[in-house]
A and B are shown apart, each in its own frame.
Chain A
Amino acid sequence: MGVMAAVGGDGDGELVTPGELLGDSSKMIAGRGAYVAPNGRSVRASLTGIRRVTHPQPDAADQRSIVEVVGHKAHGAVPQPGSVVIVRITKVMARTASADIMCVESKAVREKFTGIIRQQDVRATEIDKVDMYLSFRPGDIVRALVLSLGDARAYYLSTAKNELGVVSAQSIAANHIVSRQLLTVTVILRYC
């Protein structure tokens, strides 16, 4: 079993491994990456990471600090069906395009996720006349919606909505092409 780690404010920022004692359940609530041991009294770590203690809000009902283990890639963003992701197209084929998922909502992912955009999910109208090569090129940055967890290899993505699709690309002459929507956002941020 693990070495006894300090309880309370001390030991914050220490590296812990699964099984290590983080504190007593009467003084701590188990947060992410921690659990209450079967005996009901100790809080132990379930992941490898950095121990972090969050002090309770002054008006919270439960006045115990929350201890969690952070820094593990399992806590990075994970694409869920219905979330909007930013992807980079890696391969374009006759009926599908493969993409590398880079951000979920506005958080960057910590590990590699692959997505596939099928011919019928590129747009909402005339889906059998879609030419994959005219819609996407390798290297394009695309905003897409996760349809489902897909198969073992990739998530299924869709760009069949007005606010989805290619947002940034490079032309053959290496000129940068940006969608008008993205340009508007950039201007607003600069003038705030």
Chain B
Amino acid sequence: MSNQTIKLGAGLRQDCDTISVMKAGTLRLSKPNKYWVESSHKRYVPCVEDTVLGIVVDSKPDNFLVDIKAPTLAFLPVLAFEGGTRRNIPKFEVGTLLYVRVVKANNSMNPELSCMDDTGKAAEFGPLKDGYVFETSTGLSRMLLSSPTCPVLEALGKSLSYELAVGLNGRVWVNAASPSTVILVSNAIINSEFLSGVQQKIMVEKLMKRLQ
């Protein structure tokens, strides 16, 4: 390698003159100079600015306790909503599914969440009603969120209409008009984890035929 400054991301560490790998996974490069190691896990390690799907477990006077598949429960302050004041605190029942953003995450404190984006607007954060939730690995979540659109989602979107929310913590929410559509979309997504783009399209066609 020629003389250049490179940026080390997750999973890489510099020890004096050598760069060593700290995690098992694929080495990825983002031009011009960013390197990192990507791996897929069933467990989620909270990272700032990640959008995740959380389930409310408890509510305290100051924050909601939300499960985001992390080692500890996360705190969602009751005022972290657009136009949130002490007078209009939302009431979430235990088990409510929320689409939230991670604001603070370090290894000795509970992660902190927010239902607003940087500017203070609600964006699309908040509770998700109806639909069906299932768990995936973090690698599959990242693939579903990659751009250009993931082949399986594109193939499904050609013939079906459905709503999808993907959390980087390995949770996916699907909603559609009829239950059979929901089941088909969920199964297609779960099956697509280790298939290539072409294989994903073929798999979706086979499932569509079964629906008819």
Q: Which residues in A have some Cβ–Cβ distance to B below 8 Å?
A: 91-94, 132-133, 137-138
Query: Which one of A92, A94, A137 has the highest number of Cβ atoms from chain B below 10 Å of its Cβ?
Result: A94
Q: How far is the CA of A94 from the CA of B109 in the complex (A)?
A: 8
Residues on A with C-beta less than 8 A from B159 are none
Q: Does B67 contact A (CB under 8 A)?
A: no
Query: Which one of A92, A133, A138 has the highest number of Cβ atoms from chain B below 10 Å of its Cβ?
Result: A133
Residues on B with C-beta less than 8 A from A138 are 108
Q: Which residues in B have some Cβ–Cβ distance to A below 8 Å?
A: 75, 104, 106, 108-110, 112
Q: How far is the CA of A55 from the CA of B88 in the complex (A)?
A: 73
Q: How far is the CA of A92 from the CA of B109 in the complex (A)?
A: 6
Closest CB of chain A to B106's CB: distance in Å? 5
Given contacts A91-B108, A92-B109, A93-B110, 9 further A-B contacts (CB under 8 A): A92-B108, A93-B109, A94-B109, A132-B109, A133-B104, A133-B108, A133-B109, A137-B108, A138-B108
Q: How far is the CA of A93 from the CA of B72 in the complex (A)?
A: 13
Residues on A with C-beta less than 8 A from B108 are 91-92, 133, 137-138
Closest CB of chain A to B52's CB: distance in Å? 19
Residues on A with C-beta less than 8 A from B110 are 93
Partner of B112, one of A91, A94, A137: A94
Asked whether A94 lies within 8 Å of B106 as measured between CB atoms, the reply is no
Top-6 shortest CB links A-B = A138-B108, A133-B106, A92-B108, A92-B109, A133-B109, A93-B109
Q: How far is the CA of A143 from the CA of B136 in the complex (A)?
A: 47
Nearest chain A residue, comparing its CB with the CB of B105: A133
Closest CB of chain B to A107's CB: distance in Å? 30
Residues on B with C-beta less than 8 A from A132 are 109
Residues on B with C-beta less than 8 A from A91 are 108
Closest CB of chain A to B5's CB: distance in Å? 21
15 contacts between A and B (CB under 8 A): A91-B108, A92-B108, A92-B109, A93-B109, A93-B110, A94-B75, A94-B109, A94-B112, A132-B109, A133-B104, A133-B106, A133-B108, A133-B109, A137-B108, A138-B108
